[in-house]
């Protein structure tokens, strides 16, 4: 039985005081929802604080990125070991903003995935096509390539540490959401692609999250789709009421 997950990606938002505020509102509003895992991903500077603050709740804290190397002369970077040493066991990799703005390639992401797994971390691996790729009907091809090059070198035994997030780039932060049917179609395709490589057991067990302008008002119909196992939430995760309403939507 695969996990149901609602994960909030706070991106480069919230200084310490704002983080404290958001955490305290989450703590006030949090209600355990059977079978639903909740994760929040603050920026690096607030990870330790968030981890300590959320200890009392079954809410996991994830990093938004990490370096592919274990240590050394990589100014400004953060390693998996640094993250696990403060209790962080999950990392988002391959977000479209990292791919587009910081030019993270499939090859680099494959190395980051390895580094995370070597540190026994869970990976939320993002994939998704740009608008032009959907318009020219290349979306399946693009997502398949991202999975094959970034993730399909992972040995079967490590797939219990993998979560996939399908995030069509044209729906991120734009207010435009993939329809529940479009989401289901791609999620089913991703599951089939995983099954072709690893078999049905791995494919049925991997959680596939949808991301792209999920809000309290549209979460329920998206999450109701058979192959949608939850959401990776950007903008709406910055307001505790909206984020917890999305959790409730399951």
Site for ligand PEP in 53-82 (CB under 6 A): none
Using CB under 6 A, count the residues that bind ligand PEP. 13
Residues in the chain: 250
* Residue in the block written with tokens 């929802």: 33
Contact criterion met (CB below 8 Å) for 222 and 233 = no
Does position 104 interact with ligand PEP (CB under 6 A)? The reply is: no
Q: Which residues are catalytic?
A: 95, 167
Contact criterion met (CB below 8 Å) for 133 and 170 = no
What is the smallest separation between the CB atom of 46 and ligand PEP, expressed in angstroms?
17
What is the smallest separation between the CB atom of 36 and ligand PEP, expressed in angstroms?
18
What is the smallest separation between the CB atom of 174 and ligand PEP, expressed in angstroms?
7
Q: Is 104 exposed, middle or buried (0-12, 13-18, 19+ CB in 10 A)?
A: buried
Site for ligand PEP in 180-219 (CB under 6 A): 211-214
Indicate the residue among 30 and 210 with the shorter CB distance to ligand PEP: 210
- Candidates 60, 129, 167, 229: give the one binding ligand PEP (CB under 6 A): 167
Number of CB atoms found within 10 A of residue 26's CB:
23
Q: How far is 139 from 122, CA to CA, in rounded Å?
A: 26
Q: Kindly write down the DSSP assignment for every residue of 108-136, as one continuous string.
A: HHHHHHHHHHHTT-EEEEEE---HHHHHT
Indicate the residue among 202 and 233 with the shorter CB distance to ligand PEP: 233
Helices (H), 30-67: 44-53
Closest residue to ligand PEP, judged by C-beta, is 234
Does position 172 interact with ligand PEP (CB under 6 A)? The reply is: yes
Does position 233 interact with ligand PEP (CB under 6 A)? The reply is: yes
Does position 150 interact with ligand PEP (CB under 6 A)? The reply is: no
Contact criterion met (CB below 8 Å) for 38 and 65 = no
Does position 168 interact with ligand PEP (CB under 6 A)? The reply is: no
What is the smallest separation between the CB atom of 248 and ligand PEP, expressed in angstroms?
17
- Candidates 123, 143, 234, 247: give the one binding ligand PEP (CB under 6 A): 234
Beta strands in 35-174 (DSSP E): 36-41, 59-63, 90-93, 122-127, 162-166
- Show the tokens assigned to 52: 């300590």
Indicate the residue among 98 and 191 with the shorter CB distance to ligand PEP: 98
């Amino acid at each position: 039985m695969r996990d149901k997950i609602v994960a909030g990606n706070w991106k480069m938002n919230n200084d310490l005081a704002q983080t404290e505020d958001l955490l305290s509102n989450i703590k006030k509003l949090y209600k355990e929802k059977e079978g639903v895992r909740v994760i929040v991903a603050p920026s690096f500077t607030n990870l330790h604080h968030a981890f300590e603050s959320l200890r009392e709740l079954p809410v996991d804290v994830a990093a938004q990125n990490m370096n592919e190397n274990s240590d050394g002369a990589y100014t400004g970077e953060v390693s998996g070991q640094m993250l696990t040493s403060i209790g962080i066991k999950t990392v988002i990799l391959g977000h479209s903003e990292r791919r587009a703005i910081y030019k993270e390639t499939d090859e680099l992401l494959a190395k980051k995935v390895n580094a995370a797994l070597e540190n026994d971390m869970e990976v939320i691996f993002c994939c998704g096509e740009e608008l032009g790729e959907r318009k020219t009907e290349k979306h399946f091809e693009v997502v398949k390539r991202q999975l094959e090059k970034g993730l399909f070198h992972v040995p079967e035994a490590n797939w219990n540490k993998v979560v996939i997030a399908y995030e069509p780039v044209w729906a991120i932060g734009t207010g435009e959401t993939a329809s529940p049917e479009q989401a289901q179609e791609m999620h089913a395709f991703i599951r089939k692609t995983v099954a072709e490589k690893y078999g049905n057991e791995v494919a049925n067990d991997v959680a596939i999250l949808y991301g792209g302008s999920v809000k309290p008002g549209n979460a329920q119909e998206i999450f109701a789709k058979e192959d949608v196992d939850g959401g990776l939430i950007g903008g709406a995760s910055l307001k505790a009421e909206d984020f917890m309403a999305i959790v409730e939507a399951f």
